Structure 1
Amino acid sequence: MCSYPSKSLNSIASKSYDYIIVGGGTAGCVLADRLSTHGVNSVLLIERGPVVDSWASRVPLISSNFQDAKSPAYTFNSVPLPGLGGRSLALVGGKALGGTSKLNGLIYSRSVPGEYNAWESDGRVGWGWKHVERVFEKSENCLSFGGSPGRGTHGPWQNQTIEEIHFKPVQLNVDAASSMGIPQSKSNDPDASVLGWSLLDATIDQQKHRCSTDTAFLPKSIVSRRKNLSVSTGAIVTSLDIEPVTAETDILRVVGLHLEDDSDSKKRYHVSCVKEVILCAGAIGTSQLLLLSGVGPQEHLTTLGIPVLKHLPGVGAHLQDHISVPILFKVPITDSIELLMGKPITAIKEFLKYLFLNGKGILGQQVQHANIILRSNLLDDHGQVRKHIDRSELDSHLAHNIPDIEVMFLPVNPTDRKFDGLAKAYGAFSYLCTVLKPKSFGSLRLASSDPRQQPLCDLGTLSDPEDFLPLRKALRLALLLSEKLRNTGYPLQDLSVPHDQSDAILDSFAKENAMSTYHYSSTCRMDTEDRFGVVDDELRVHGVAGLRIADASVFPQIPACHLQAPVVMVAERCAEFLLKSE
């Protein structure tokens, strides 16, 4: 098997390209494919991480274990967070071609139409549901619901719903949800209500392999065939090369990039750009690079001795993440993913099933099989579904009806906490209670002018007290579900559970147990410059010509979903903006 046709830095150095894409992650692979399709433009894609194409990287369940030392991930800690009593949270991001789509939970979720209608009503021209629905369809090959409204069947990016539920507590919870007045909803149905539980779409292909964006959009066959496309891995972009358009004006333009070999800081390179540079390095990497290049808040850059080329205070100013709090229970080990570690014979059987029965068994599915997503005002203060709900309150197309809580059913311990006997005497089941539309936000700032040093990330978790309101409802709903399971006789035992359901106890439990959902966004928001925006409605960076951003950093607010599908949509839109201008 031939190796991936990645080009060395020596081979691209001192050359000129029409388009240069910084970051070969979830968005960058999409953009590289779309911009190079017709062979007209020369395109360079630069990724800091390696090409990862091992057998394990293709197995859905195994590749989702980013805590494995071999996982292609950046791992570091946030700054101490005042909202959590000074605790820091572990942060994770993908470091490989394909980025986070190589190691995430595989969930394909778009959010509801009201999400994008809210963007449009807030002034984001061309970003309403009527504009973005076809863009979601364009990239998608939906294997389960291809004939359904709004679902694509001709795109390269495959997803499907695994119908069989392997773990008993997950099945019991979806049964319990139905009994509590929470109906089943089809995942990503644009006309579904904002109250429901779903079996989730996952980016798993027909062979039951992880369908990351490098696999879908930039396979070896495409990169080898397109002479106008160059992919270079193992390269770190240290700064953008930005110059005045003329000596008489303060108008700026990106003309190239400064690079280093990721493994050797002494080897430095430069590449030139003819048309545009597009940043796809994610909410953390993109804002870090802008700051290193002198684009950002003047006072911060001056403190670090970085020359200010463009005072743009919105860079890094609105870092958001979904707020998640896990409630954990002991379950029989055979009812959790920990059986792969605690039951060697069962683990071997699962490997054989996956290998010889077309991806059958637990290895061929995602960790999170089902969830509940709803609008918290549809629950009373005890976590019960309200008795009287007007039909208009369930309309997912309305901008004020965006779901704001999710309860994930996870047959595993999702935290980094160690428990005696876990994976030996018992397994874990958790309700991951999540605030999808947090009011809290933080910021990203540089720790130094060294591009190899991780930036200072303040997620702002629970810094806004309003976030406790939906979080309490999510926690109470999860606790009601757990009681339903116990009432069936299922042996659910407390592992990490609130002592009672008073506001004070739930809030304290949240502060002690909140974790990152690894959904970083909104550090370079799409908005006007006077409202701390960084890009305009066509993703162009304010005040710097020849520079756009296409990743999770441009979301005006964090979407109420897992982020990979909206990120791919943004990359598709960016490609359209660029190609229409030619």
Structure 2
Amino acid sequence: MNKMEFDYIIIGGGSSGCVLAGRLSEDPNVSVCLLEVGGGGDGWKVEVPCAAVISIPTKINNWAFETVSQKGLNGRKGYQPRGKCLGGSSAINAMVYIRGNAQDYDHWAALGNDGWSYQEVLPYFIKSENNQRIHNAYHGNEGPLSVTDLQSENPLQARYLAAAKEQGYKILDDFNGAEQEGLGVYQVTHINGERCSSARAYLFPHRERKNLTVEIHAQTQRILIENGVAVGVEYKQAGQVKQIYARREVLLSAGAMQSPQILMLSGVGDQHELMAHGIQVKHHLPGVGKNFHDHPDFIFGYKVDAIPGTFGLSLKGSIDLFKQISRYRKEGKGLITTNFAECGGFLKSSPEQTLPNLQLHFVVALVDNHARTMHMGHGISCHVCLLNPKSRGTIKISGVSIDDPLLIDPNFYDDESDLEEMVKGFKLTQKLMQSNAFKDIIKKDLFTADVQTDEEIRHILRERSDTVYHPVGSCKMGVDDMAVVDARLRVYGVQNLRVVDASIMPTVVNGNTNAPAIMIAEKAVDMIRQDQASVAFIEKKVRVGEVA
């Protein structure tokens, strides 16, 4: 039997993987196979924006991971939703379009990652984007990813902006332009009132390409590595184990948790950890699964009456919901188009900060325990997260199978300075939510009414903090001994293997991570093509005898 071969095999059809598949298959002379363990990433549960409330707290299109016990969170286990379908986490996220701060990327470059400064990555953000409103040098208007203003027409936005003005904060209508500090209403990845996931932007328009094969419900078991070269992938589908082979490269885009897992199960990682599980070591790379980190986040929650613009469990709310569904079907507008986290922005915890180190997400519903704990009535919430945490954790495997539970440890608040910065963030956010603009609608402060002293703030932060869904760093790009990939995203010590997703971030960006994950893949495509052209050029010279 002839073995199944492709030029490129992509592991993971998430935010980055869909970009790779869509862009690489633009060349009809290149064959591409995309492997996705989840489903098709379409249907109303993905397309209707507010349906994310169904996926986040459940296992619908969601891995719904749990962390190990967190010492910094008083021994609690955290919750880590991750997308499990084509589009990955862009199919279940809050769709907030944020790139991070320019200094994030300049810092990456300063760490030795040539080509990753802000001015060098900006063209890839622009290339990916189709912004429906903003037309300037910072934005793109012809890319696959549709970016729009919210269509919810939510009156709570005006209250939030009034509160921001009351507290003296600058109002921004673009967090991805010349400046980042300030508060405002977020732009989102919408198209015609529907979610624009990475799959919808980059993959679905090209499903008929003959050189593009997309396999769903295909669970990668390991990367096949022979003599230090990645030659293919073993995956399981419909109970059958299959092997496919890559003529050029294997591209690992399984995300910040599963990319290091697949590397380790393939024999690439810390040799002592691999040997402890009886895994044959293909290459000792101690940084695999290290440097894992995330934005620690705290949520204020308030009860309000069943006022327009809020979701909740009430008779009045149910009647309004039916009206909103009818409007959505007719116009593609209204509350059904909400991303919930409609407003927010970036603040400094203290004036001496060189750039904003706090991000707020104002939510038009009551959020408790990742929407897994429900409350009768209506509410609003406000997240505050620390953007540049110093704490570092790990991703570890618990066995030799892809089905063995991952040991996910973001190690929140391990560095005491993270907790102290969050104390400052708590105070700023609490003051914002106590503004006159909210006083006539807030009926009860559910979680923080009696929290006053710094010690009480520290206690509740440890009791109620968790992720804001921005895990990164576990296959970091760099030049030090703990780096996993180089600046061209090639895995050290293994030829024809790259990692292309948020796991390569040496430090988490100051903001949401979806747009950067898409940018990383856009840039990777250019590097892959450049490197392949160089190989072809050398091979041609060898053939004609110009190279000994």
Question: What band does the TM-score fall into relative to the shorter chain?
Answer: over 0.9
CA distance, structure 2, for counterparts of residue 336 and residue 420 of structure 1 = 21
- Shift in alpha-carbon separation, 1:419–1:89, aligned structure 2, 3 A: closer
CA contact (8 A) 1:29 1:213 kept: yes
CA distance, structure 1, for counterparts of residue 324 and residue 226 of structure 2 = 57
**Corresponding residue for residue 354 of structure 1:** 328
Alignment of 1:130-529 (within 5 A): 130-145=119-134, 147-162=135-150, 165-168=153-156, 170-192=157-179, 194-205=180-191, 207-219=192-204, 221-224=205-208, 226-244=209-227, 252-261=228-237, 263-264=238-239, 267-335=240-308, 337-339=310-312, 342=315, 343-356=317-330, 358-378=331-351, 401-416=354-369, 422-423=375-376, 426-485=377-436, 488-497=439-448, 499-529=450-480
Q: Which moved more, 1:14-23 or 1:68-77?
A: 68-77
Deviations 1:494-546 (A, max 9, x none): 1111523322111001000012212111000001241x110000000011100
CA distance, structure 1, for counterparts of residue 242 and residue 226 of structure 2 = 18
Alignment of 1:43-62 (within 5 A): 43-62=32-51
Q: Secondary structure at the match of 2:281?
A: coil
CA contact (8 A) 2:342 2:364 kept: no
Q: Secondary structure at the match of 1:324?
A: strand
CA contact (8 A) 2:151 2:338 kept: no
CA contact (8 A) 1:21 1:280 kept: yes
- Alpha-carbon distance, 1:336 to partner: 5.7
CA contact (8 A) 1:113 1:190 kept: no
**Corresponding residue for residue 524 of structure 2:** 574
CA distance, structure 2, for counterparts of residue 340 and residue 565 of structure 1 = 33
Q: Secondary structure at the match of 1:413?
A: coil
- Alpha-carbon distance, 1:350 to partner: 0.4
CA distance, structure 2, for counterparts of residue 196 and residue 515 of structure 1 = 24
Alignment of 1:14-25 (within 5 A): 14-25=3-14
**Corresponding residue for residue 544 of structure 1:** 494
Q: Which runs of 4+ in 1 moved over 4 A?
A: 417-421
CA contact (8 A) 1:472 1:506 kept: yes
CA distance, structure 2, for counterparts of residue 208 and residue 183 of structure 1 = 28
Q: Which moved more, 1:488-497 or 1:366-375?
A: 488-497
**Corresponding residue for residue 505 of structure 2:** 555
CA distance, structure 2, for counterparts of residue 291 and residue 83 of structure 1 = 27
CA distance, structure 2, for counterparts of residue 470 and residue 203 of structure 1 = 30
- Alpha-carbon distance, 1:122 to partner: 2.1
Matched, 1:29 2:18: yes
- 1:129 corresponds, among 107, 115, 118, to 118
- Alpha-carbon distance, 1:181 to partner: 1.5
Question: What is the CA RMSD across the aligned residues, in angstroms?
Answer: 2.0
CA contact (8 A) 1:109 1:187 kept: no
**Corresponding residue for residue 108 of structure 1:** 97
CA distance, structure 2, for counterparts of residue 155 and residue 545 of structure 1 = 32
Aligned residues: 531
Q: What letter matches 2:478 in structure 1?
A: D
CA contact (8 A) 1:476 1:501 kept: no
Q: Secondary structure at the match of 1:79?
A: strand
Q: What letter matches 2:347 in structure 1?
A: L
CA distance, structure 1, for counterparts of residue 370 and residue 32 of structure 2 = 44
- Alpha-carbon distance, 1:241 to partner: 0.7
CA contact (8 A) 2:95 2:190 kept: yes
- Shift in alpha-carbon separation, 1:362–1:580, aligned structure 2, 3 A: same
- Shift in alpha-carbon separation, 1:273–1:163, aligned structure 2, 3 A: closer
Deviations 1:428-463 (A, max 9, x none): 211211111111121010011111123100110111
- Shift in alpha-carbon separation, 1:341–1:461, aligned structure 2, 3 A: farther
- 2:485 corresponds, among 535, 554, 569, to 535
Q: Which moved more, 1:51-60 or 1:30-39?
A: 51-60
- Alpha-carbon distance, 1:420 to partner: 9.8
Q: What letter matches 2:203 in structure 1?
A: L
CA distance, structure 2, for counterparts of residue 566 and residue 195 of structure 1 = 19
- Shift in alpha-carbon separation, 1:55–1:510, aligned structure 2, 3 A: same
- Shift in alpha-carbon separation, 1:456–1:498, aligned structure 2, 3 A: farther
CA contact (8 A) 2:392 2:410 kept: yes
Q: What letter matches 1:304 in structure 2?
A: H
CA distance, structure 2, for counterparts of residue 143 and residue 419 of structure 1 = 34
- Shift in alpha-carbon separation, 1:418–1:243, aligned structure 2, 3 A: closer
CA distance, structure 2, for counterparts of residue 364 and residue 297 of structure 1 = 45
Q: Secondary structure at the match of 1:305?
A: coil
CA contact (8 A) 1:165 1:171 kept: no
CA distance, structure 2, for counterparts of residue 70 and residue 290 of structure 1 = 25
User: Normalized against structure 2, the TM-score is what?
Assistant: 0.93
- Shift in alpha-carbon separation, 1:87–1:131, aligned structure 2, 3 A: same
CA distance, structure 2, for counterparts of residue 486 and residue 208 of structure 1 = 28
Deviations 1:314-351 (A, max 9, x none): 10011111100111111113356433765221110000
Q: Secondary structure at the match of 1:61?
A: helix
Deviations 1:546-580 (A, max 9, x none): 00011000001111111110000000011000111
Q: Secondary structure at the match of 2:245?
A: strand
Same amino acid, percent of matched pairs: 29
For structure 1, list consecutive stretches of 5 or more residues without a partner in the other structure: 1-9, 245-251, 379-392, 394-399
Q: Secondary structure at the match of 1:427?
A: strand
Q: Secondary structure at the match of 2:259?
A: helix
CA distance, structure 2, for counterparts of residue 525 and residue 36 of structure 1 = 27
CA distance, structure 2, for counterparts of residue 565 and residue 320 of structure 1 = 18
- Alpha-carbon distance, 1:130 to partner: 0.9
- Alpha-carbon distance, 1:76 to partner: 2.5
